A and B are shown apart, each in its own frame.
Chain A
Amino acid sequence: MTGGVWLLRRLVASVAIVFAVITFIFILIHLAPGKPCSENLDPRVCTLLTRQFGLDQPIAVQYWRYLVELAHGNLGMSFSLRRPVWDALVETVPFTLQLAGAALVFDFLLGLGLGIYQAARVNRLPDLVLGNATLFIYSLPTFWLAPILLLVFGEKLGWFPVGGASDPIFCPQVDSLYCVADRLWHLVLPATTLGVVGAAGTARFQRAAMLEVASQDYVRTARAKGVPERQIVLRHQLRNALLSFITRFGLAFPFLLTGAVLVETIFAWPGMGRLAFDAILTRDYPVVTASALIASTVVVAGNLLADILLGFADPRLRVHAAADADVVTA
């Protein structure tokens, strides 16, 4: 029951956060200088369009209209794409989820593996080499790494496609195993760009967490009892070090979504990040606000999921959460 109250409280807070974000974004983007017209469009035509889009109304009126439409499930009409925002999001969000999902898998599988490997060989040569390598990769800016990967593996070696999400001739739609493979092939460079920097960070994080747990009494006890080293690492150290891993999982969502903006633009990946970036530049207010709505929902949901997972991984946290809920309800 108390767990249910805690969850309900978190859900209400999540909705409030999302609402606050879209309100903030709505006001901010409308107050920003610029207008939704290209540089060479005749200002007279621009004025006509501005009127057609209702942008000549006071911002409070526009906001109220937006909320009324939102309550009816209508995200509005994109100025730059000339189509319903919902249609644009339905087409682009799955691409961002594919990219972010692949990057997340890459990030955590590689990062976790490296972190465990380094912790098991602490202060030995592999640990030192990998420690410096991960620090080097962690400090690589994505805007530099992405074009380099494109240049080397796309243009020069020709191993991977130079941008795009699929082969426009053979696989305009993913409707066969061949086209699934084609999508994965197109995913390699953008997902690597987005995931490799995160993996380096995860590895350093995980190594530190493993080493912290290694000095705990129960690990020493297990070792004194003659438990095999592999079992100590996997069962005692790793399980307890997973708490920080789950926290990092929750924090990874904002990183992946913001990183996706740049990566999608450079790799011509047709996702929501590229859509939002273009919308900001063209002052396409409905798309910007809708993207913020989706992004904030994903981030809040990711953090909620991480909190729930933490509760499962560490019963002590469930007790604290329940106690907090009792205090509030009392």
Chain B
Amino acid sequence: MLSAMLRRSAFSYYIVLTVATLGACERRGGCTTAGCGTLIDAAVVEPPTLLPPSTEDIVASDIAEQLFLKLADVGMSTNTVGDEDFQPLLAQRWEWDGPLTLVFHIDPRARWQDGQRVTAADVEFTFNAYNDSAVASPFRPKLQRIEKVTQRDSLTAVFRFREKYPEMFYDAVYHMRILPAHLLRSVPREQWRTAPFGRQPVGDGPYRFVRWQAAQSIELVADTTFFLGRPGIRRLIWRFTPSLPVAVQQVIADQADIREQLVTPDNVERAKAAKQLAIYPFRGNVYTFLSFNQRAPGDTSKPHPLFGDRDVRRALTMAVDRASLVKSTLGDLGQVPPGPISALVGIWAPDIRQLPYDTAQAARLLSLHGWRDHDGDGIRDKDGQPLAFHILVPSSSGLRKQYARLLQEQFRAIGVRAEIDELEGSVVAQRTGSGNYDTAILSRSNDPSPGSGITQSWTLAGFGGSNFGRYYNPEFERIVQRAISAPKRDQARTLWRYALETINADAPGIFLYALANVGAVHKRVENVQFRPDSWAALLRTWRIPPDRLIDRDRVER
């Protein structure tokens, strides 16, 4: 009986093998003209929802670029001052009606994918939704200078600002994607985060939503009636893979077409070696720093016993050879940021004054403040207290963990003991958010404007928010406000430079590295453009020539 069973299982094995072999063969489809093509993006995060105001998840944003239009968008220059570099999208044109009033004329050809017209009522509805605390939109603080949005007629939306400043246009168009009021008005705002619309959206963009396979993929298909022109590639698929190395392997093994951020030098080298891939470097939008908590851990009413002292922070900053650390860990993929900004931000300039790497001066400064090695154990101390602290670092980030160890060594060289706490991201978030830490290695992403990022992370406006270390310098606040309000670009640039030099001198953190982005895309794709602030912003203009189509491009379903 058993032998019969074994014989049967051997037979089943052959069946499975045959069927599996069939499965390994790709089928040929029928689409062979321009406008065919399928691109698979190897994404490492699955978004929780595609409803734009409810998430700032980067993959959700990439997908939303294809589904929901903004009124206008920044150009390749990513200049955010004035309106001359912006490209019209949903708004056909705009004009200023006085210093505080901006009028948008919506393109009459624009339609929601259920056939309804896009109207000024949608714009007004969108602004009110983004500003509703029940929606808890992360973009809400960025819209505070807009007083209200109204509709003059069905295709004219009017923005009224509270004050005049150079980035008024940017604030009006960049943070909001216009939403279909007729589909969302009936959904209670406190339920937007979980609304079914977020998993089956109806947009007005170049692509339509097709399906969401949970934990697997999201598929979009080109809207052939899109009013700004049919997209060059018919189908887009985001395939979710929780591990970056596996996502990179998928692209190298030709099982995906795009990996927009390779992240490590090793991944870049492997992608370069894959003959079907083209490599696209572009400016990164993230910087990483060691945050000094200036208030006592868990008690924001008292200064931190170490980092409340500006000179201790300065000494520790001067003890770190940031240039060598970047070179040894990231090679050409990273730079030392000239302050709390990423390379995306237009005010980036390598010659902005920073504290030098000078261990002798760092040691002198600490000694001057009484931090000497009185007991000969190699660690400086004062009043019996050693110069020691903890570095908090998320265990999920290999690069930041590596940096924590390198910083530990550099601090040890000047007689400072740093202990590393590697904890889960959720625990790091809780401890930094509540101010319960000494130092933490944190990353911040910037949008193209320096104003919103610096204000949220480094000024009084960020207390209780993203200014975890509670850095405050009235002089810095004043310069930032002046820079934000500066009427001319050159004037703003000079003021921003001064602001960065001021914060660098205060050393509220050690600004460690700013990653350069490198993307990999299959060589059959033409007209590939990565806009630095959003690699997927121009996806609708990419195309695959008919003679380069491969099996997965031709498939019809």
Contact = CB atoms under 8 A, between A and B. Distances in A.
Contact of A83 (B9, B194, B211, B432): B194
Given A39-B425, A178-B22, A46 B433 contact: yes
Given A83-B194, A168-B219, A181-B19, A40 B2 contact: no
Contact of B246 (A49, A91, A163, A172): A163
A82 B426 contact: no
Interface stretch (A1-9, A124-132, A149-157): A149-157
Main secondary structure of the interface of B (DSSP, over half): mixed
Contacts of B444: 40
Interface string A162-193: 11111011101000011111111100100000
Contacts of B356: none
Nearest to A265: B242
Chain A CB count within 10 A is highest, among B138, B237, B430, B432, for B430
B443 A169 contact: no
B211 A109 contact: no
A71 interface: no
A275 B240 CA distance: 13
A17 interface: no
Interface string A236-266: 0010000000000000000000000000011
A302 interface: no
A34 interface: yes
Given A52-B136, A92-B215, A278-B242, A34 B426 contact: yes
Nearest to A268: B241
Contacts of B428: 39
B513 to A, nearest CB: 17
Interface stretch (B83-91, B247-255, B308-316, B378-386): B247-255
Contacts of B26: 170
A309 to B, nearest CB: 16
Contacts of B239: 164, 168
A54 interface: no
A141 interface: no
A91 B36 CA distance: 31
B237 A169 contact: yes
A274 interface: yes
A155 B20 contact: no
Contacts of A109: 9
B16 A168 contact: no
B303 interface: no
A52 B193 contact: yes
B427 A33 contact: yes
Contact of A281 (B24, B49, B425, B434): B425
A154 B253 contact: yes
B249 A164 contact: no
B413 interface: no
A48 interface: yes
A242 to B, nearest CB: 11
Contacts of A44: 464-465
Interface string A14-55: 000000000000000000011111111111111011001000
B246 A34 contact: no
Interface in B348-396: 394, 396
Contacts of B245: 147
Contacts of A184: 16, 19-20, 23
Chain B CB count within 10 A is highest, among A49, A165, A172, for A172
B163 interface: no
A40 B211 contact: no
B20 A45 contact: no
Interface string B443-481: 111000000000010000000111000000000000000
A270 interface: yes
Nearest to B553: A169
Given A42-B138, A181-B19, A34 B552 contact: no
Nearest to A166: B216
B555 interface: yes
Contacts of B194: 77, 82-83
A182 B190 CA distance: 41
Contacts of B242: 265, 268, 274, 278
Contacts of B425: 38-39, 281
B193 A170 contact: no
Nearest to B434: A43
A43 B466 CA distance: 7
B426 A266 contact: no
B250 A42 contact: no
A81 interface: yes
A207 interface: no
A198 interface: no
Interface string B194-218: 1000110000000000010111110
B141 interface: yes
A52 B246 CA distance: 35
A234 interface: yes
B217 A172 contact: yes
Contact of B48 (A81, A154, A234, A268): A81
A34 B425 CA distance: 8
Nearest to B136: A48
A204 interface: no
A168 B241 contact: no
A138 B156 CA distance: 70
B43 to A, nearest CB: 10
Given A172-B213, A181-B23, A184-B19, A41 B138 contact: yes
A323 to B, nearest CB: 32
Nearest to A158: B253
A80 interface: yes
Contact of A282 (B22, B426, B431, B443): B426
A325 interface: no
Contacts of A278: 242
Given A40-B443, A45-B136, A34 B429 contact: yes
Nearest to A80: B48
Nearest to B49: A82
A161 interface: yes
Contact of B249 (A154, A159, A166, A265): A154
B243 A265 contact: yes
A162 B250 contact: yes
Given A155-B252, A161-B255, A181-B19, A42 B40 contact: no
Nearest to A95: B215
Contacts of A83: 194, 199
A268 B19 contact: no
B238 to A, nearest CB: 9
Nearest to B426: A34
19 contacts: A34-B427, A34-B429, A39-B394, A40-B56, A42-B456, A46-B429, A48-B133, A82-B48, A83-B199, A113-B6, A161-B255, A163-B241, A163-B246, A168-B237, A178-B27, A183-B23, A184-B19, A188-B20, A270-B216
Interface of B: 2-3, 6, 9, 16, 19-24, 26-27, 38, 40, 48-49, 54, 56, 133, 136-138, 141, 190, 193-194, 198-199, 211, 213-217, 219, 235, 237, 239-243, 245-246, 249-250, 252-255, 394, 396, 423-434, 442-445, 456, 464-466, 552, 555
